[in-house]
Amino acid sequence: MQDFRGKKITVVGLAKSGVGAANLLHSLGAAVTVTDSKPESELAAQAARLSPGVMKALGSHPDVLFTGADLIVISPGVPLTAPPLVKAAAAGVEITGELELSYLLSGSPFIAITGTNGKSTTTTLVGLMLEAAGMKAYVGGNLGNALTDEPERLKGQDFIVAEVSSFQLETIKTFRPRVSALLNVTQDHMDRYPGMAEYADAKARVFMNQSGDDVHVANFDDAPTMALAAKAACRVARFSRKSALSFGVFVRDGNMVSTMGSGETVVLPISDIRIKGAHNVENALAAAAITLAAGAPADAVAKVLREFPGLEHRMEFVRELDGVTWYNDSKGTNVGAVEKSLEGFDQPIILIAGGLDKHSDFSPLVPLLRERVKKLILIGKAADDMYAALSGATDTVKLGYDMDEAVRLARASASPGDVVMLSPACASFDMFRNFEDRGRQFKEMVNRL
């Protein structure tokens, strides 16, 4: 464990991970100051969670907190290109993030799961599978609970199962998971990265310190992921919906099959997996490969896959009304996620999309819109750009900033046997607090119909 006593540490960003990191470092004897560009009036709830003795500099970023610090800990949403951090780096100040910090303070091995889509479902499945195998597992990270929020949970576990984002991986130095996974790489966060290569390289940092008997799990059906996995210096296990594998988990003759032990093992029939859709088959395969690499038996994997109902806001069934089925996929915040969601249905779809654009290219949606979407209803700040890119593919309507009107129009447009799906392909912050707020408001509106 690193000694932080007496160190001057600046924590940048007062989100969940910032609060957790500040309190943890203060408990370890550091002189901690948190700074955020937002004024204290907008951060009252977060500031109230800070331990007494943690100093605050809110509403600005004083240079001395950066160039005069012994260590700077940044929240994932803070880019390394921010001017105060550039100044600090030039002054030789070490900059790190919550993921590296939790690793340095942990006494337990890590499983780290990243990818553009499917991270939260896969991470949750792995935690449940390890528990079904009788192992002690703490699940945390980017899926909601900061790893530093409960530092006592970082010790005494068989595994810490962490969902990690490209933003978190940018600041790791020594972080070395026992098992890592890169589920897929599709366009996202182009408002943060110069291009896809830089985004993919950030994801690939998940295995940069692995070697020897460590295991990296890669998606055999995703060419960018496999190109990155070729750089791994550890064993690589694969998962695939389409191909048999010598070391991995795959689908054959309607069954999930593992070759990660001695010989082949049929884990369960694919039809037994409770969560439906092609993307969830991939998530199930990935979770199985990760869990088997961690030493759990196949029967624990099968048990969880038969029982797990899925996560909120991820292709979540809302209700059936007059023969029309409604789904909340508010976590579909990028084009790749929406593609996977559309592929999961054979019925005609009415799609509600739009929000805050992340400099995305929406054109990959065109073939699926033509094939499967009966009506496209666009809302939010990106509606104009999406209309320009997609309106030729299907019947398309722009509604501005009114989710309630979108729901009413979807109902009026739907026939028995249709599916209505909220899957925005955009962030939520133009109209909602976050994707959870967007999904819950959508469900409330649907349930009022």
The H or E element containing residue 250 is strand 248-252
Exposed/middle/buried for residue 208 (C-beta within 10 Å: 0-12, 13-18, 19+): middle
By annotation, the residues acting in catalysis are 119, 142, 189
Q: Is 153 helix (H, G, I), strand (E, B) or coil?
A: helix
Which residue blocks in 139-195 are alpha helix, DSSP H?
Answer: 166-169
Query: Pairing mode, if any, of strands 248-252 and 234-240?
Result: parallel
Provide the 8-state DSSP code for 424.
-
Exposure b/e, 284-310, CB count within 10 A at least 16 = b: bbbbbbbbbbbebbbebbbbbbeebeb
Measured CA to CA in angstroms, residue 417 lies from 80, 323, 324, 326, 345 at distances of 49, 6, 6, 11, 11
Q: In what order do the strands lie in the sheet with 248-252?
A: 137-141, 159-163, 110-114, 179-182, 212-219, 234-240, 248-252, 255-261, 263-269
**What is the CB neighbour count within 10 angstroms for residue 32?**
27
- Tell me the CB-side half-sphere exposure of residue 413, using CA atoms within 13 A: 23
Sign, CA torsion 380/384/388/391:
positive
Contact 311, 124 (CB under 8 A): yes
Q: Give the whole-angstrom CA distance, residue 162 versus residue 178.
A: 12
Q: Give the whole-angstrom CA distance, residue 132 versus residue 391.
A: 47
